[in-house]
Structure 1
Amino acid sequence: MNNYKITPESFVSKVIELYRQARKAKVNNSRVKRGRSHNISSHVEDVFAEFLAENLGKYTYLVDQPITVEGQKNPIYPDIVLVEDNKIINFLDLKMDLGWNRNGFINFCNKKETLISDIRNKSCRLKDGITKEIKSFEIDENVKYHIVIISDTNIPKKQMKVNIEGVNSLSNVCVYLLTSNQHPNTYDESKLRDIKINRDQFDKLINSLI
């Protein structure tokens, strides 16, 4: 078991709080009421990058960074990229659940499998989000694409099992299910006790990125 600086429990608590805050208008006026919640995906990316940075330490973590790869017609858009010594070591995508693509997940992962085979050992470039400076990197020969699913809910368990079993044989793509039983969008931190935090999946992810 890993010795976490930011624990899985703390990370999940932050996600719950992000869902709670997403319900509120971003102005200080009691007469302004939201209907639908703000999208929290970008905030979770930042929080998860912090979780990785504190627990792995050694990399630079690029969040929501379009990347132009040598020989590729279109940019790629991973949620988080791990960089070390001017090399891209790993790509990560975060999904809150699989409700968005329950019938297309296997195909989604197969496309990532092919992508990694096509781009490893190639050069790429990106633009710094603040300075707009163009930076060049190499993609490591051992690079992998990690699909991190925050919650295994919002999809029937049988269908989730089919999806996971359908991608287990992939060489370039790894999938992780971080929590079970209760979705973090309950807006109530007391519900944390109902969420099963899959420590083995957190450990598997961290160990694969070290």
Structure 2
Amino acid sequence: MPPKEYFRKLIELYSESRETKYYNPNIFRGRSSSISSQLEDLTALFIALNNPDHCTYYIDQPVRFGSSKTRYPDIVIQNGDKTIENLIDVKADIGWNRDGMYKFCMEWEDRIKAVQGTETTFTDGKSKEKRHGKFSKRLKYHVLIATLENSGKTLKNDHDKIKNECSNVNLYLLSDGQHPNTYGLTQQDVLDKINIQDDEFRRFFENLKDTP
């Protein structure tokens, strides 16, 4: 799945979120339904289809950090040897956080350092089976922001600061120019107006492979 197809599907999710799940001509939504869970599913599929390594992907998975803390990465990537090398956080935009992402990423920088090389456990959401894993000594946390639009004025500066200051957290800005959730245009017109940042996608997959 190339990045353009990823955005095509993201635009579809937004369009479908404006409709009711069960059709009736007299029922209408005042606000769109949330696409956050579907975006997690889509992103996990996108990574799995483009990652040459055979891994298992756990979505919205509560994971034990240390002896007492539980965290909720959007995607946990576990290798065949049970090592967890990469955690993913995916956001459509950060309109919810006008203060930017610097503080958020620095907090995760400290959390990742604290658990690198440690054991962890988590529970399968479908079977409720308890699973075991180990955080890699080079565990990384990747934050994917689908669009720069509607994301505040500080995000680009945060992006550069995090690149320079964080060794365990990476922030990626995947597009700009047009928000995937744009009204008044066809889905194809929205896609055509989105400026996909191919360099950021390449950097993400290079960093994903950079953890031995």
The question of a shared fold, defined as TM-score above 0.5 by the shorter chain, is answered with: yes
Q: What count of residue pairs does the alignment treat as equivalent?
A: 203
Q: Which sits farther off after the overlay, 125-134 or 183-192?
A: 183-192
Aligned to 2:173: 177
Aligned to 2:16: 21
Aligned amino acid, residue 115 of structure 2: I
Instruction: Select the residue among 115, 133, 146 that pairs with 2:111.
Output: 115
Instruction: Select the residue among 26, 41, 46 that pairs with 1:31.
Output: 26
Aligned to 1:195: 194
1:82-108 deviation per Cα after TM superposition (whole angstroms, max 9, x unaligned): 100111110010011121113152111
Secondary structure of 2:181's aligned partner: helix
- Partners of 2:34 and 2:151 lie apart in 1 by 20
- Partners of 1:174 and 1:165 lie apart in 2 by 10
- Partners of 2:117 and 2:147 lie apart in 1 by 33
Aligned amino acid, residue 139 of structure 1: F
Aligned to 2:89: 93
- Partners of 1:203 and 1:104 lie apart in 2 by 23
Secondary structure of 1:155's aligned partner: coil
Secondary structure of 1:116's aligned partner: helix
- Partners of 2:190 and 2:57 lie apart in 1 by 30
Aligned amino acid, residue 45 of structure 1: E
Q: Cα–Cα, structure 1 residues 104 and 203, in superposed 2: closer, same or farther, change >3 Å?
A: closer
Aligned amino acid, residue 52 of structure 1: I
Instruction: Select the residue among 41, 51, 60 that pairs with 2:46.
Output: 51
- Partners of 1:89 and 1:33 lie apart in 2 by 44
Q: State the TM-score, normalizing by the size of structure 1.
A: 0.93
Aligned to 1:208: 207
Aligned to 1:40: 35
Secondary structure of 1:27's aligned partner: coil
Q: Identity over the aligned pairs, expressed in percent?
A: 37
- Partners of 1:32 and 1:93 lie apart in 2 by 34
Aligned amino acid, residue 198 of structure 1: Q
1:7-18 equivalences under 5 Å are 7-18=2-13
Q: Tell me the CA shift for residue 161 of structure 1.
A: 2.4
Matched, 1:150 2:146: yes
Aligned amino acid, residue 149 of structure 2: T
1:16-61 deviation per Cα after TM superposition (whole angstroms, max 9, x unaligned): 0000000000002121111110100110110110001111142111
Q: Tell me the CA shift for residue 77 of structure 1.
A: 0.6
Aligned to 1:65: 61
Secondary structure of 1:75's aligned partner: strand
Aligned to 1:166: 161
Q: Tell me the CA shift for residue 159 of structure 1.
A: 2.0
Q: Which sits farther off after the overlay, 98-107 or 30-39?
A: 98-107
Q: Tell me the CA shift for residue 69 of structure 1.
A: 2.6
Q: State the TM-score, normalizing by the size of structure 2.
A: 0.92
- Partners of 1:121 and 1:29 lie apart in 2 by 53
Structure 1 portions without partners, runs of 5+: 1-5
Secondary structure of 1:209's aligned partner: helix
